[in-house]
Amino acid sequence: MNKVPESLLAELRLQQGFDEIAFLQAHQQSPNTSIRLNPKKKISEFENEKKIAWYENGFYLKERPSFTYDPLFHAGCYYVQEASSMFLEFVLKQSVDLLQSLKVLDLCAAPGGKSTLIASLLNENSLLVSNEVIKNRATILKENITKWGSENVLVTNNDPKHFERLENYFDVLVIDAPCSGSGLFRKEPEYLNEWNDNLVNLCSQRQQRILADVWKCLKPNGVLIYSTCSFSESENEAIADWMIDELQAENISFNVPTEWNIVSTESKKYKAKGFRFYPHLLQGEGFFCCAMRKQNDAFEKPRLKKSKQKTSSINKAILNNWLKDADKYEFQPKNEFIIAQPKSLIDEMEFISSQLNVIKSGICVGQLTHKDLIPDHELALSTMLSDSIQKAELSYEQAIQYLKKEDIKDFSFDKTGWTLMQYQNQNLGWAKVLPNRLNNYYPMNGRILK
Ligand code: SAM
């Protein structure tokens, strides 16, 4: 690996107790590989691996396997995520009452690490809006949310400025800001080639712009969780000071178990508490996180009128055959597809759809023909399917053939019709079994290419 830039080291040396030798040694070592389990798709594959201290469902792997060739990865049973980032769960639990029905915005969400973590924490009456400004990254985000299978998530592709339209709307904002990336030098060495002081300044300016743009959409008393994977003070503690100065935000302080070796920091001006992850002190990459509250003096503007629910002529009898609890959902036609949205969230989902560029809303169930449903891939990966759906268990080799969208060798099945292709009882997607062949409906854009 190239050398850690001297001007970054010069800044870090000013921090109390900074151990430069250990920091540089850690940068000569390979990064950790870690995964986070999906609590709704239980597997035993990683149960003997080492646990991550600050996240119950997270594990370090001894070596990096080929995730592409693990069908359980494609089934959304786990997410490959850097361990330090999983600290978000602890911060959320310390600063927000997760038993409430919450509206949460994950503003800089692609590829979906934080969003899938948040989705697993929220109760079924809470809504997560998972946003990504860059279009092709928003598509990847949508795919990862689909794999995770959560129903109460909207994926949007909007600029932070557009969220001004949702004034005083969200209970929680998660801003995992684009940054100079010094915390990821080991994992993504290309950051090292691009890093310079000017980039840090540009990132700091951009972080302020993003925060200023979305601050309006946070409710009074709402919580903003800010994070970066940078070691630079001007992208971290100085941003906390900036939020206090410019947005009159209030810092939320809490303690972290000392044995985790996470460094608690204080900002220069207001002593706002933040948390730093250093790769020489713990098993994880560089990360910073702090939590802020919007003070309760803001004028609460009335929300736009709720949209009137459309009555649709969708044939629910057909859907009852496919879904575990069809009564829990409102079904909306969208182009030629049927979208299922939890009834408890329908007003919010409709409202947001009228304000933002929504690219995924609830679960796409499929296309209704006059007699049946052509099921969508989103439905296969959701957790709303009826247990009586026809299933076929594939061997490892067959699962890979299915995921490559190839013919499945030696497939024998005594029934015909729409069938869930499973590996170790986990859903991979759909196939239509005909008397003497099988049509593979795995989505073209998600197939294994190698
Ligand atoms: N939260 C993600 C996760 O856990 O998987 C990682 C987010 S990454 C650190 C920052 C994201 O911010 C990127 O997806 C990037 O495309 C997006 N981004 C870049 N410029 C932005 C801007 N001006 N406003 C909002 N988001 C931006």
What DSSP character marks residue 132? -
Give the pLDDT score at 309. 53
Q: Which atom of ligand 1 is nearest to the CA of 179?
A: 9
Tell me the mean pLDDT in the region 20-45.
96
**Span 246-269, pLDDT tens digits:** 999 999 999 999 999 999 999 999
Q: Which atom of ligand 1 is nearest to the CA of 228?
A: 9
Give the pLDDT score at 371. 84
Taking a C-beta distance cutoff of 8 angstroms, is the pair 440, 449 a contact? no
Distant-in-sequence contacts of 250-256, Cβ < 8 A, 24+ apart: 250/292, 250/293, 250/294, 250/295, 251/290, 251/291, 251/292, 251/293, 252/94, 252/95, 252/223, 252/291, 252/292, 252/293, 254/94, 254/95, 254/291, 256/54, 256/90
450: pLDDT strictly greater than 80: no
Give the pLDDT score at 316. 81
**Span 217-228, pLDDT tens digits:** 999 999 999 999
Please report where in the chains the tokens 């594959």 appear, as a residue.
45
234: pLDDT strictly greater than 60: yes
Rounded to 5 degrees, what are φ and ψ at 179? Answer: -145, 180
426: pLDDT strictly greater than 60: yes
302: pLDDT strictly greater than 50: no
Where are the chain's structural domains?
Answer: 85-293, 316-446
Q: With bands split at pLDDT 50, 70 and 90, how would you rate the model's confidence at 314? A: confident
Q: Which residues of 199-212 are buried (b: 16+ CB within 10 A; e: fewer)?
A: bbeebbeebbebbe
Ligand 1 binding pocket includes 162 (Cβ within 6 Å) = no
Q: With bands split at pLDDT 50, 70 and 90, how would you rate the model's confidence at 307? A: low
124: pLDDT strictly greater than 60: yes
Ligand 1 binding pocket includes 36 (Cβ within 6 Å) = no
**Span 329-374, pLDDT tens digits:** 999 998 899 999 999 999 999 999 999 999 999 999 999 988 889 9
Taking a C-beta distance cutoff of 8 angstroms, is the pair 79, 113 a contact? yes
Pairing of strands 337-342, 329-334: antiparallel
User: Can you name the CATH fold of 316-446?
Assistant: Nuclear Transport Factor 2; Chain: A, (3.10.450)
165: pLDDT strictly greater than 80: yes
Taking a C-beta distance cutoff of 8 angstroms, is the pair 188, 181 a contact? yes
Ligand 1 binding pocket includes 111 (Cβ within 6 Å) = yes
Structure tokens at 416: 């015909």
Nearest residue to 141 via CA among 175, 167, 107: 107
- Considering only CA atoms, give the Rg of the chain: 23
Taking a C-beta distance cutoff of 8 angstroms, is the pair 111, 137 a contact? yes
Ligand 1 binding pocket includes 399 (Cβ within 6 Å) = no
Give the pLDDT score at 16. 87
432: pLDDT strictly greater than 60: yes
User: Can you name the CATH fold of 85-293?
Assistant: Rossmann fold (3.40.50)
Rounded to 5 degrees, what are φ and ψ at 14? Answer: -75, -15
